[in-house]
Amino acid sequence: MSRYIYGIDFGTTNSAISIIDTSSNKIVKTYSESSLIFFPQLKNSRSSLSYFVGKQAIEKYVENNMQGRFMKSLKRVLPRSGFKETRVYNRKFKAEDLVCIILKYLKEKADSFVGEDIQKAVFGRPVVFDEDPEKDQLAQNRLLKAAKLAGFEQIAFQMEPIAAAFTYERLISRDETVLVADLGGGTSDFTLMKLSPSKLKRPDRKEDIIGQGGIYIGGDNFDSSIMWNKGTYHFGRGLTYKDFETTVEVPRSFYHNICSWEKMNFFDSLKLQNALDKFYFLTDKNPRFKNLVDLIRNNLGYAVFQQVEKAKVNLSERENVNFEFTHNGIEFEEPISIEEFSTEIIGEDLNKIRSYLLDFLQKSGVSPEAIDTVFMTGGTSMVKPIRDFMIQLFEEKAIKSGDNFNSVANGLAYSHVLFFNEKDT
Ligand SMILES: Nc1ncnc2c1ncn2[C@@H]1O[C@H](COP(=O)(O)OP(=O)(O)OP(=O)(O)O)[C@@H](O)[C@H]1O
Ligand SMILES: [Mg+2]
């Protein structure tokens, strides 16, 4: 039996794999990669389908002049019961087949590091994949199927924020009551836990978990809101045309679609292009609507979202940023201030996260003063208005953060003691 076990954090935006050496209980390596897949267009009907993952997916997307299928935020597909499969050129993929591509990629990297085929892993899952318990179960089942397809035999699941708590626990020298806030691309997850340096190897930590909860809002929602508020105008949102005597707005559904990766991943672009051509003529060939036609025709969804994300990330450092996009004749620039971002653009989501957290604390029977440390992790924990309200709720000195992108994977690897018996290793 191998002495290595993996901790695997399949994230909405980023995924990571940590390799733990169970004989020393030390993490020997962590690999992370963006959760992206790109399928280049087929050269002809007989050629076989190829794909690229992560950074390479972006490189190949650009190299192939954006022709092909680009997929992002696939974790959000897991709880969607309406999603059965998607055809990518000559192959059909179920949700687990798509997720398997990313898991396999990580497994191969880690296996070649240890020089073995490791089949034992602790996988992370958000506290809520979905509020509907059936859909939540569906999501975990699909993740389990994906893990098996990727070659894992012994599979355990751990809540992502609990994993992050275990990573933080390695850093403390006294007992602490800790709130972990894992703010990712898809979800904002919370765990209240009693941590202690003396409990690092305990196989059962149930009684230390005071509460856990999560809300299905994350950085992806902020990107969608930036796109909706600042981008869609440039693609013709609000344009009208005459239908006999009545003035009609072009369908809003176009704009909802281009703001959501759940939709964009599975566009039937030919059907969409035909619909768009019709409205392009109805709007008297409006140049803003032409941008939408060109966006879909040239498959520029991911290229726009890279700019959206860049604007958001820059807002973590600066008060004023520009969201700009120049591609295939589409050209626009939109200034965004931090004030506008935190109120009009993401204000509603911020309020939801904030009230969820307050409610969660109240239900757990723990007041903010009783919390020694707030451990913030995940990329969205860098969003300034989020930091601001956390500082407002808790004392600034109580707020700590670690490695925003690897804390969960590392903690999943440390979680092996909870699931796998030393004797099996
Ligand atoms: N500097 C930054 N400022 C603001 N947001 C950021 C920054 N860096 C990354 N992000 C955002 O953080 C999110 C990704 O965070 P993370 O990698 O923790 O998510 P994830 O683990 O993939 O998602 P989840 O845990 O919800 O499945 C993305 O929405 C990304 O745009
Ligand atoms: Mg995460």
pLDDT per residue as tens digits for the range 398-416? 999 989 999 999 999 999 9
| In-domain check, residue 394 | no
Q: What is the pLDDT of residue 405?
A: 94
Domain with residue 132: its CATH number is 3.30.420.40
Q: What is the pLDDT of residue 421?
A: 80
Tens-digit pLDDT profile for residues 132-151: 999 999 999 999 999 999 99
| In-domain check, residue 248 | no
Tens-digit pLDDT profile for residues 292-313: 999 999 999 999 999 999 999 9
Tens-digit pLDDT profile for residues 1-28: 899 999 999 999 999 999 999 999 999 9
How many residues would you count in the chain? 425
Angle at 357 between CA 158 and CA 142, to 5 degrees: 30
Mean pLDDT of 275-295: 97
Residue 46 has pLDDT above 90, yes or no: no
| In-domain check, residue 372 | no
Q: What is the pLDDT of residue 423?
A: 58
Is the CB of 72 within 6 Å of ligand 1?
A: no
Mean pLDDT of 155-175: 97
Q: How confident is the model at residue 425 (pLDDT cuts 50, 70, 90)?
A: very low
The residue to mutate among 10, 12, 316, having the most atoms of ligand 1 within 8 angstroms of its beta carbon, is 12
Average pLDDT, the chain: 96
| In-domain check, residue 49 | yes
Of 96-100, 180-184, 240-244, 421-425, the one with minimum mean pLDDT is: 421-425
- The H or E element that residue 291 is part of is helix 287-297
Is the CB of 385 within 6 Å of ligand 1?
A: no
**11 CA → ligand 2 middle, Å:** 5
Which of helix, strand or coil describes residue 154?
A: strand
| In-domain check, residue 271 | no
Q: What is the pLDDT of residue 422?
A: 62
Mean pLDDT of 328-333: 96
Mean pLDDT of 30-42: 97
Which of these, 304, 224, 289, 293, lies nearest to 250 by C-alpha position? 289
Q: What is the pLDDT of residue 270?
A: 84
Mean pLDDT of 357-363: 97
pTM summary value? 0.96
Q: What is the pLDDT of residue 45?
A: 81
Cα-Cα-Cα-Cα dihedral sign, residues 332, 336, 342, 347: negative
Tens-digit pLDDT profile for residues 214-239: 999 999 999 999 999 999 999 999 99
**Tokens found for residue 386:** 């989020």
Other residues' Cβ atoms within 10 Å of the Cβ of residue 320: 13
Closest approach atom of ligand 1 to CA 160 = 25
Distance CA 305, CA 224 (A): 9
The residue to mutate among 14, 75, 310, 401, having the most atoms of ligand 1 within 8 angstroms of its beta carbon, is 14
Domain count, the chain: 1
Residue 337 has pLDDT above 80, yes or no: yes
Q: Which DSSP string corresponds to 35-47?
A: --EEEEPPSSTTS
Percent over 90 (pLDDT), the chain: 94
Instruction: Note down the domain range covering 128.
Output: 4-173+404-424
Is the CB of 214 within 6 Å of ligand 1?
A: no
Tell me 48's DSSP state.
P
Residue 379 has pLDDT above 70, yes or no: yes
